[in-house]
Amino acid sequence: MLSELQLELKNQLVRFCSDVIEPHMEEDDKSENFRMDIYNKIGELGLAGVTLPEEYGGAGLSYEDLCVVLSEIAKSSVSYAVTLSVSTMSQSILNDFGTEEQKKKYLPSLTSGEEIGAFALSESHSGSDAAALKTTAKKVEGGYILNGTKMWISSGGIAKTYIVMARTGEEGHRGISAFIVRDGAQGFSYGKKEQKMGWKVSPTRELIFENCFVSDSDLLKEEGFGFKIALAALDKGRITIGSIAVGLAQRALDEAVKYSLERKQFNQPIFEFQGLQFMMAEMATEIECSRLLVEEAAKNYDRGHKNQKVACMAKLKATDTAMKVTTDAVQILGGVGYTSEYPVERFMRDAKVLQIVEGTNQIQKVVIGRSLKKEYTK
Ligand code: COS
């Protein structure tokens, strides 16, 4: 059950999404247009740094609250929800691992929503095997020189602050360090913008580093700590991706039920056909299971129990559910469901990559499997 505060947040966002986001979604999905003013307005609502301390301009709320916010935004736009989720993840890295100076310097413009934060781990040869990354950071007087290319970076080009993982030492995870790199840094440029199936409004780009100097003061924590920073951040990112999946699936179900109550065939609303009614009953049940699991995963983090297994289960269950439910919604709407006259085809396209980002669902199973082995061989 939602708390009073969560209910208030939800109601505020229902109005915001229908007035500010929803009117642009179909058109912007076609033109792949990200509107910074919409993101700025999310900031004005005080929601660009939900879980960050008030001291740095955040709202000081919980991960459970953040999940409510993201679910609600995802009902209108997965792209804006994801931008917010990734920006919050980069802020949480700064907050958890940054020095006081780094937090003061970088957090306020992110928590206020004036700027966006991004996270750069993947490379062409290291996706699931993230520890194999090749971008180098060579130590020089006063800092490091970065060389390499990051791939599939959400908010690439629109973000101003990037958390970049690069190799300062040996092969494997112990040689990886995390750096803060700003848009506009010399030697840092953007590569091609990816043409994607979904998430059309959220740009995905390559980041290219060619002798890019990063000062010592922009190293996070210490050399060799970057992989742990990335994985700890992904644990939370996986929960927030789960919450986006829940919102998206819920909206797809809403559309399917509404349509099936109105659409008549064989002299009755198609909702009355048990075949379809059972489909919707299953969709609703799967969404409820996902919501509860995401909530549980978020609660664990809020209570300080870092339960990686449950976080992975939440991401796995919620994103598989979003894929199934959005596909079924298209089926229920039939011919029109497949056209852009109704939003469900967009929902189905937006659902697919949720099963891939922040660790593929196969990687989630690897982590869950490892946890099981540990539990049963103690
Ligand atoms: N938080 C902090 N540290 C963690 C961690 C976590 N959740 N999980 C693992 N670590 C630490 C381990 O303790 C280990 O350190 P020590 O050797 O000092 O003990 C280190 O990280 C390496 O862990 P592990 O040996 O498990 O690493 P693997 O290379 O086997 O990979 C997986 C682990 C596959 C789980 C990891 O690479 C992964 O999540 N891959 C997917 C990457 C991803 O999500 N990419 C998407 C990017 S954003 S779209």
The pLDDT tens digits of the residues spanning 174-233 come to 999 999 999 999 999 999 999 999 999 999 999 999 999 999 999 999 999 999 999 999
Q: Is 22 exposed, middle or buried (0-12, 13-18, 19+ CB in 10 A)?
A: middle
> Closest ligand 1 atom to the C-alpha of 232?
1
Place of tokens 């740095």: 56
The DSSP result for 115-138, as a single string, is S-EEEE--BTTBSSSGGG---EEE
In this prediction, residue 378 carries a pLDDT of: 83
Distance from C-alpha of 280 to C-alpha of 271, rounded to nearest angstrom: 9
**What residue spans define the domains of the chain?**
4-115, 118-226, 228-376
The reply to whether ligand 1 has any atom less than 6 angstroms from the CB of 121 is yes
Distance 131 CA to ligand 1 centre (A): 8
Class of domain 118-226: mainly beta
**DSSP sequence for 328-375:** HHHHHHGGGGGSTTSTHHHHHHHHHGGGTTTS-HHHHHHHHHHHHHHH
d(CA 334, CA 324): 15
Query: What class does CATH assign to 228-376?
Result: mainly alpha
Class of domain 4-115: mainly alpha
Two structure tokens written together for 306: 């870092």
Residues of the chain with pLDDT under 50: none
CA–CA distance, 375 with 133 (Å, rounded to integer):
30
Mutate to test the pocket of ligand 1, among 96, 151, 155, 173 (most ligand atoms within 8 A of CB): 173
Of 222, 207, 206, 201, the residue nearest 346 (C-alpha): 201
Atom number of ligand 1 nearest to Cα 152: 49
Residue-wise pLDDT tens digits, 340-350: 999 999 999 99
pLDDT given at position 1:
85
Ligand 1 centroid–CA 220 distance in Å is 17
